[in-house]
Chains A and B, each alone.
Chain A
Amino acid sequence: MNRYLKLVNFEFNRFFKLYIVLVIVTIIMQFFAVILESRGYMREAKNVIYGDMMSKADFIKNYEAFTMQRVVQSNWFYWSIALCVVVLLIYVFFIWYRDWLGKNSFIYRLLMLPTARLNLYFAKATAILIFVFGLVALQLLLFLIEMQIMKWIVPAEFRVDLPIKEYTDFNYLSVILPGSLIDFLLFYGMGIVAVCVTFTAILFERCYRLKGIIFGISYGLVSVGFFLMPLLIDTFVLNYYFFPVELFVMEVIAGIIVLIGAVWIGNYLLKYKIRV
């Protein structure tokens, strides 16, 4: 356990500097989004109210009151999140490959550690998860600050202040912040399964190199296929025999089996087949 924690901390610190950069860039991009959208709206309001002699009430009726929705849907906001997603996706691969880089590949030392090699696998997965959840938390904190900025720029009569929940419910943010705790666990549970399957696929490549790419991809496809099996069989073979609840339970079980499979195969590969 202690070894595992040390390894997690090690993996965490290795990415920490880049992570901080990512956090700062996100903050800048999102503040930019809030300021741009809020000021743009106020400029429009001024133009219409003073230029076209429209009353405030009529303006709000015709142009809709300002909500964070506009900010959330703006380009800068969207790309800030896309950036984080892409960087973390790349890091899912890089977290393994960096150990093989350089002259004295570091993986050699890692594999020699007097601990189960599976700990390495778990530590890397945990580090990825911490980074993901850290960014989710950052988004929530940023929402609070951004709403404050918005309140400074847009006067109350032009605004409708809704709780954060309303912005995360109806667009791409619902993927990052699902509506309820159960959904959160389900979504990110699926994410964990996906990360582990990817890790195992990477290990296939690391064990068998060129041939391993084919193994890895086939393994990934088999995992996805297995996960979707209840749905596919129900749709194409059984002609929608099962009720949604039953399918849901089967999907959860299928997901757990895929996860166990990924860890088990990953363990085997690390133990017996890994090449340095």
Chain B
Amino acid sequence: MKKYWKIIVVLIITVITVGTYYIRSSFASRTVPEFEVKKISGDEKELQDLVIHGDYNVNDILYSFKILNGKTMNINYDSIISEIVELPSQFEKIMKEHKNFLRQKVLNPGNFYEDKAWLAYAEYEIENTFSGMTNKNEFLIEVLDKKTNETVAFEVAIPDGENYYTININDVQLLNGKVKVLTNNFSEDSSEEAHLYVFDLKEKKLIRDDVILKNSEGVENGNWTSFSINNDSLSLKPSEYALFLLQRVQEEMNENTKEVEEKILASECYVYNFEKEVLEKINHEELGMVEAASLHNSTVFLQNQIDNRLEVVPYDIETGTWREKILFNVPQTSENTDNDDLHAEPFITVLNGKIYIINAIDDGYSLFIGDLSTGQSLYEGKIVAKHKKINQYNDKTYFKLIEPKS
């Protein structure tokens, strides 16, 4: 034994050190605090199956976290295995039932459509040769009949494809044997178009290419038009409408904070009906500017912040009528506060007819869930950080997405 002492010492030190390092670090010795939602009033059920995504930032390092059912989810951030296994939650069920359909596809919810009988997929493919010639510029359409397990797949060249340098697929719908693909087409001259491509499944070809909306105004002295299609892109489920929001935005330097701020100069809102293939403009002039808009079933919600209040105005597409506006208290970003934590903008999301507002308060974040059809508060709570390891001004928390766990 005596002969071996050196090697034994090295081995013991190694096993103990490396072992402790990995065993201890698997027991939550992370920097990310555990967030917890504490109820103030309302129904605890509102938090069920609700995922709140956020980032936690210390010095230069950014960590992502998820809060599920009001508690920080225990995700293993560290292992590459989790990255390999990770799947967008919308696809978990499909992966089990129709695994082969998902092969060779971009698992992006916008590219998929799912109902009880069908699964549809659209992809934009562009391939350039080394000399810069385009040798492939087409749509790939694939539809699965869930009952017979038969797939129909075809490729169609994009009409005038050379005019666009990229195409973004926003939504896919399947209606009466026709696949309807809603896209954003970007041209070289920075103009942007919304298209609806209609494909016939039986004949396996493109039967229509409609330009729904065009935004040709470019950027001039910090002033541009933003163009967004807002139709619950996270969901694969059928939707009747798509929502378009055009905003003329002016970039301005705030003298007090020395930060660039965006000011909305003009806004236009449109609703597109997938079945009738018609575009309808929502006349909201008397409401003033629209900061954000969202769609739930056949109701559009227009948002606008006025001082410390958030105005939400519901518009019923089917009847073409406005409903009564709903007001929420959302303290606005104070411009001259010293506390960086409080500087964060409120995070507002509308989801399934409910509004979610997260706002920085002195000792954490407030979470408000409101029903948009009645304007009533469904839940009020506070997001607090437990086991916070760093008590410095160097850490910041941002919330970025709220979605239902599917």
Contact = CB atoms under 8 A, between A and B. Distances in A.
A164 B102 CA distance: 40
Contacts of A130: 7, 10-11, 14
Interface string A126-146: 000010011011001100000
B78 A67 contact: no
Contacts of A67: 59
B3, B17, B58, B393: which has the most chain A beta carbons within 10 Å? B17
A69 interface: yes
A181 to B, nearest CB: 4
A192 to B, nearest CB: 15
B6 interface: yes
Interface stretch (A56-64, A210-218, A225-233): A56-64
Given A57-B393, A240-B104, A241-B104, A140 B79 contact: no
B24 to A, nearest CB: 9
Looking at chain A's contact residues, the main secondary structure is: helix
| Category for how many chain B residues contact A | 35 or more
A177 B30 CA distance: 16
B22 interface: yes
A245 B84 contact: yes
B130 interface: no
A44 interface: no
A32 to B, nearest CB: 22
A74 to B, nearest CB: 15
A134 B79 contact: no
A162 B29 CA distance: 10
Contacts of A244: 83-85
A60 B395 CA distance: 12
Contacts of A13: 6-7
A8 B22 contact: no
Interface stretch (A112-120, A182-190, A199-207, A254-262): A182-190
B254 interface: no
Interface in A155-208: 160, 162-166, 169-170, 177-184, 186
B393 A134 contact: no
B215 interface: no
Contact of B79 (A9, A65, A141, A180): A180
Contacts of A245: 84-85
B61 A136 contact: no
A16 interface: yes
Given A65-B394, A67-B59, A141 B17 contact: yes
B207 interface: no
B134 interface: no
B74 to A, nearest CB: 13
A133 B4 contact: no
Contacts of A236: none
Contacts of A16: 6
Contacts of B59: 64-65, 67, 69, 160
B117 interface: no
A137 B84 contact: no
B6 A12 contact: yes
B394 A181 contact: no
A134 B14 contact: yes
B103 interface: yes
A239 interface: yes
Given A130-B7, A182-B79, A241-B103, A163 B29 contact: yes
A93 interface: no
A163 B20 CA distance: 13
B392 A166 contact: no
A141 B12 CA distance: 13
Given A8-B7, A9-B7, A183 B18 contact: no
A181 B85 contact: no
A182 B78 CA distance: 10
A248 interface: yes
B6 A181 contact: no
Given A136-B18, A137-B14, A140-B17, A61 B77 contact: no
A272 interface: no
12 contacts: A9-B3, A13-B7, A64-B60, A69-B61, A133-B18, A134-B10, A136-B18, A137-B14, A160-B394, A183-B80, A241-B103, A243-B103
Given A64-B60, A186-B80, A244-B83, 8 more contacts: A12-B10, A65-B394, A130-B10, A165-B29, A166-B31, A179-B80, A183-B81, A244-B85
The 8 closest A-B pairs by CB, nearest first: A179-B78, A137-B17, A180-B79, A137-B14, A181-B22, A180-B78, A244-B84, A12-B7
